[in-house]
A and B are shown apart, each in its own frame.
Chain A
Amino acid sequence: MTDQAAFPASRRMFLQHLAGVGGTGLLMAGMSALGFGIEARAATPPVLSGGGGKTVVVLGSGVAGLTSAYELSKAGYEVTLLEARERVGGRSYTARKGTQLTELGGEPQTCTFDEGYYINPGPWRIPYHHRGYLHYAKTLGVQMELFNNDNDHSYLYFDKGSGPLAGKAVRKQAIAADTRGYASEILAKQINQGALDQQFTAGDKELLLDYLKGEGYLTAKDFKYVGTENRGPTLDRGAGLNPGEFSKPYPFTDILHSHYWAVLQSVSDYDQQRTMFEPVGGMDRLPYAFARELGPMIKLGHVVEKISQSPNKVEVAYVDKSGQRGVVVADYCVCAIPLSVLKSIDMQVSPTFKAAMSGVSYAPVGKIGLQMKRRFWEEDHAIYGGHIFFDNPDINSLSFPSTGWLGPKGVILGYYQFGGSAAKISALSLKQREAFAISQGAKVFPDYGDHVESSFSIAWHRVPYNLGGWAEWTEEGRKTAYPILNEPDGRIYLAGEHLSYITGWQEGGIESAWLQIAKLHKRVHA
C-alpha cells in the first residue's frame, strides 16, 4: 500500500512488469536504471575465490576486522588476526556479569548485573537497511529480535523551555496529537478563509483539507482540534458500562514554549526508522559467531607495536599478554584499528597517509546501564521499550530494554551523551556517574533510585584500544584525508566504520571491509 503510494503510477507499473518477467534481479536492475540507486550499497559480500595461500594479517577484531578475516579465509587466503584484548568485538561489546573494564585514568570496574542481564555499551540497534549486518546474522545463525526504537506511550522530559509543561514529564503521543492537531487546525482555517487560494485549484484544496482533517483529528464540520482518544485517554475504555474518558489537550502555547514539538518529524531519520533489530543475548553475539568460524586464526592479547612494510611484505610487531614479543610477516595487511589508536602506533606509511590519519576526530561518548530490581516502567507506566528524550544533553536519552519483556528485572540505559557532555560526565567517579543518572531519571520517575541495584558505565574516549565512540569527518576532511585513507598505502589496507559514510554503525565497518578486501583480491589477481 505504502509502496504503491510512493511511486507514480507509470513507474510503479513498469516495476511490477519487470518483477513479473525477470524476477527480483531484473527488478533491482530496473530500479537502478530508474535512479533508485539500489546497487550503490552492496547487500552481500564480494564473492572472492582463489586466495591461493597468500598471507594476510588482519589487525583488530571489531566487525571490520572479523568480516575481512572471515571472507579472506573463505577465499583461500591464509589469515592471522591480531587482537589486543582478551575478547573479540571491539566496540561491538556487551557488559554482563563479570565484565571488567578500566578506563584510562579511571577506577577498575566489574559488572555485577544478575546472570542473564546485560547492557550493550557500544552499538545497540540495527536498522533494517543495514543489510551487511543482517546478512551475517542470518548466515552465521545469530538470532535477532526487534529493538523498539519508538514508543508512542513513552515520556518526554524537557526542562529548558518555559511554561507549565517545561520540567513536566509528558507522553509523546499527547504531544504528537496536540501539536499536529493545532497546526492542522490553523492551516485548515487559513485555507477555508481563502488565504491559499492562489496556490491551489479547488480540487487540491478539498484534498488538502481532507488530509488535514485526518492528520490533525479535526472535527468534521468546523475543522477544530478538540483532542482525540489517540493522545492517550485518562481512562481506558473497557467492558460493560465503561466507555472510557478522553483526556484534554494541552494548550498550544504551552506546547510551543516547552519545545516538546522538537521531537516530532514526519518520519524518523533514515538511520532511526522502524524496523530495528538487536541480537538476542547481546551485541557481542555476532563477533563471537565470527570467532567460532575463524578459530585459531584469531590471536587474542596481541598488542600491535609496529607496522612496517617492504615492496614484498608487511611486518607487524606485537607484544602478547605474557610480554613475549614477536612479528607476523604477511603479503598484505588489513588494518581495522580505529584511527584514534592507530595514529599513535609506529607505522611505516607515506607522510601523506600518516597526515591523513589525523584528519578525523573521534566522538567522546558516554553510556550507563542501570540494573533495576523490577520493570517498573512496564508494570507502573505501560512503557515497553523505546526512549525518554531529554533536552539536557548530559542525558539525551534514557532507554528501556527491548528484551526480557514482562520479566522480573531489566537494565535501563541511563544516559547516552556525546561531545562536551561526555567529557564532563566521564570526569566523575563511577559512583558519581550512577548518582547523576539517578538524579535525572528521578525527574520522570520519583522512585527511580529505589529500583537501582547496580550500574556499569563507559566513556568510550577513555577506553584503551578505542579512544572514542566513532569517527567524525568534517566536510573538509572528507574531501582531503578521507580519499587517501580509502586507498592502500603499499601493502596496507585500512578498514572500519571510519572509512564509510555510515560512521558510528557496525554496517560501516562491514561494508568498508567488503570494499577493501575486494580491492586487495583484485590486486592479487591482476
Chain B
Amino acid sequence: MMQIRLLAAALAAPVALTAAGSPAFAEDGQAVFTQNCSACHQVTGKGIPGAFPALAGDKFVVGPVGPVAKTVLNGRGGMPTFAPDLSDAQIAAALTYVRSSWGNAASPVTTDEVAKARSASGLAAPANGMQAH
C-alpha cells in the first residue's frame, strides 16, 4: 500500500506544482485534491456543468462536515468511494483545502471528524477483483 501511495504522489507532484505554483507535501490538502479529485472537479473547483458539480461556492461543500466527509468516503452518483484509497488525514486535508479555496470560507476538517464519519458509515473497503468486465 505504502509503495503505491509514494509512487502516485511522485507522479502527481508536478501537476500540483503547475496548478498552484506552490510545493506539495505528503498530506498537503491541495496535493491530495489535485491528485484524486481534480480530474472531474477541475483544479479551479468549478467542475464541468452537466457532468461534474462545482465545489467552488457550493452550499453542500461548505456545510456540515459529516455529510461532506461521508460523500468522499461512500461516493455518490458518478463519484467513486475513496474509503479504500485515502487515509482519514488525507481526506481531512483535501476537504480543508476545498472548504477554504476559490472563495469558499468554511471551517477546516480534522482527521477525527473524518474517522468518525468513516466508522459511522461502517464501510469496509470493497474487495478489488482481479477481473471486471
List residues of A whose CB falls within 8 A of some B CB.
104-105, 123, 159-160, 262-263, 268-269, 271-272, 340, 344, 358, 361-364, 389, 392-394, 396-397, 416, 418-424, 426-429, 432, 435-436, 439, 459, 461-462, 464, 467-470, 504-505
Contacts and interface: CB of A to CB of B under 8 A. Distances in A.
Nearest to B49: A344
B38 A427 contact: yes
Interface string B24-41: 000000000011111110
B130 A427 contact: no
Interface stretch (B62-70, B74-82, B93-101, B109-117): B74-82
Size range of the interface on B? 35 or more
Interface of B: 1, 3-4, 7-8, 11-12, 14-15, 34-40, 42, 48, 50-52, 75-82, 84-86, 128-133
A400 B11 CA distance: 25
B52 A104 contact: yes
A420 B39 contact: no
B80 A363 contact: yes
Identify which of A389, A392, A424 gathers the most chain B CB atoms within 10 Å of its CB: A424
A423 B80 contact: yes
Nearest to A359: B77
A109 to B, nearest CB: 15
Contact of B131 (A123, A262, A269, A468): A269
Contact of A420 (B38, B77, B80, B132): B80
B40 A420 contact: no
A263 B80 CA distance: 25
9 contacts: A344-B51, A362-B78, A364-B80, A393-B4, A420-B80, A424-B8, A436-B11, A462-B39, A504-B132
A423 B36 contact: yes
Contacts of B78: 340, 361-362, 364, 461, 467-468
B124 to A, nearest CB: 14
A104 B132 contact: no
The 6 closest A-B pairs by CB, nearest first: A420-B85, A427-B39, A419-B80, A426-B39, A504-B133, A344-B50
B52 A424 contact: no
A470 B78 CA distance: 10
B129 to A, nearest CB: 8
A424 B5 CA distance: 11
Given A364-B78, A420-B80, A427 B4 contact: no
B12 A427 contact: yes
A105 B133 contact: no
Given A424-B85, A462-B40, A396 B80 contact: no
A467 B51 contact: yes
Contacts of A362: 77-78
